[in-house]
Structure 1
Amino acid sequence: MSETVSEAAPGTIVAAFDFDGTLTWRDTLLPFLRRLLGTPTLLWVLFICSPWLAAYALRFTSNHRAKAVLLQASLAGRTQAEVQRCAQAFVREYLPLQWRPWAMHHLVEHQQQGHRCIIVSASTSLYMHLAGASLGVDAVLCTEMEVVDGRYTGRMATPNCHGEEKVHRLQTWLATEFGAAQPVLHAYGDTSGDRPMLHLASVAWYREKPWQHG
């Protein structure tokens, strides 16, 4: 860890971790949807959504729009109880095989030194809060999904927690928790969608290497 971590008093540092590709080896949304829907149904959903997914791959549409279409097709009408059962099994059985040793080492080191640790992720509330609880983090800021009368509508209840939205969500959380006495922020990420959050941090890591503000 950095010299800042070792010298700062406990409670004055917040460590913010991206999830997919940072704490885990890979994206986790599609593996979760495969478990929830089954492979044949997921393949059908991907076929239905392929125009939007292709447009996103070609940068003709936004991450938010492509993700919204996929989630709508996958989740609309699913009961909260069904998704919760799937999420519990997913977090218990799948995620432990996906943790990246380097990131997990840093997360545990922060926790052992009494630092506040949070996850800031575009992944969804379908399983992210359970994942955060399994890791013992202090908060999970993620893309929240809408539930009405015990069923998922397939719509996002918050903006997709990606790019600048990560900064907005993180700053709101920091203001609520610390007020004007802002802590030293450490941030960990692995894609361009994490860079706004890394810019906000005093100490930043990008793909397991120190990241310099550019």
Structure 2
Amino acid sequence: MSQSEVVAAFDFDGTLTRRDTLLPFLLHTLGVWAVMVQALRLSRTLAAYALGLIDNGIAKERVFVACLGAKNIDALQQEADLFAAQVVPALLRPDAMRRLAWHKQQGHRCVLISASLELYVRPWAKIAGFDEVIATQLEIRDDRTLTGRMSGVNCFGAEKLRRLAALLGERSTYTLYAYGDSRGDRELLASADFSYYRQFPESR
């Protein structure tokens, strides 16, 4: 990669979208009743996370195990593809999409880097024209069912920076624009040449 290359790294939830997308995805995939049942079962975990007593990754994995464990990955991927095509567009921020379009027009390498599930982030990113996707993955058994556990580490905080380095190489070899909206983007934003927290500049 040459020093002249420019990379634009976008967070997903709350940055490109107006809100978190996990709950809408679960509602789309499982239905309202099933999600309500699991929310009751997970009430202690959700309360502990809200109070800052347990880690983001631990809370997420418990939700994944409860809601997605034992699901067939191929059937779930079909639902995720539909969610990406039919539901995500209504959740997008117009200013964020204008900024993405600007980067694409400039010929910049656009990377979507998110703690959200790769299941639906990747198909949406393909539609949107991203060059690469880095997101949270789920563990798959040999029989093509999910355990619900994450495959690897939650793509959050310092893990975003580590995975970006694994993809792109030495940070000094490219110019980085970074966009984020939460503490999970802190390290990524701090490493960028141009960082934007909950805002998008006018593109000209």
Q: Which residue of 2 aligns with 1:98?
A: 91
Greater relative CO (CA pairs within 8 A, separation 6+) = 2
Cα pair 1:119 1:132 within 8 Å, conserved? yes
Q: Which residue of 2 aligns with 1:186?
A: 177
- Shift in Å at residue 80 of structure 1? 1.3
Task: State how far apart, in whole Å, the 2-side matches of 1:48 and 1:167 are.
Answer: 34
Q: Report sequence identity in percent.
A: 43
Task: State how far apart, in whole Å, the 2-side matches of 1:151 and 1:180 are.
Answer: 37
3-state SS, counterpart of residue 166 of structure 2? helix
- Shift in Å at residue 81 of structure 1? 2.1
Cα pair 1:167 1:196 within 8 Å, conserved? yes
Cα pair 1:142 1:161 within 8 Å, conserved? yes
Query: Deviation digits for residues 117-168 of structure 1, max 9, x if unmatched?
Result: 0011000122111111111101110001111121111010021111111111
Runs of 4+ in 1 over 2 A off after TM superposition: none
The alignment yields a C-alpha RMSD, in angstroms, of 1.7
Task: State how far apart, in whole Å, the 1-side matches of 2:31 and 2:128 are.
Answer: 27
2:153 is the alignment partner of 1:153? no
Change (3 A) 1:190 1:63: same
The correspondence for 1:14, drawn from 3, 7, 18, is 7
Q: Which residue of 2 aligns with 1:173?
A: 167
Task: State how far apart, in whole Å, the 1-side matches of 2:90 and 2:82 are.
Answer: 13
TM-score by length of 2: 0.93
The correspondence for 2:120, drawn from 123, 127, 135, is 127
Partner letter of residue 159 of structure 2? E
Q: Which residue of 1 aligns with 2:64?
A: 71
- Shift in Å at residue 181 of structure 1? 6.3
Task: State how far apart, in whole Å, the 2-side matches of 1:62 and 1:156 are.
Answer: 14
The correspondence for 2:100, drawn from 98, 101, 107, is 107
- Matched positions, count: 199
TM-score by length of 1: 0.89
Task: State how far apart, in whole Å, the 2-side matches of 1:182 and 1:98 are.
Answer: 34
Unaligned runs of 5+ in 1: 1-8
3-state SS, counterpart of residue 126 of structure 1? helix
- Shift in Å at residue 69 of structure 1? 0.3
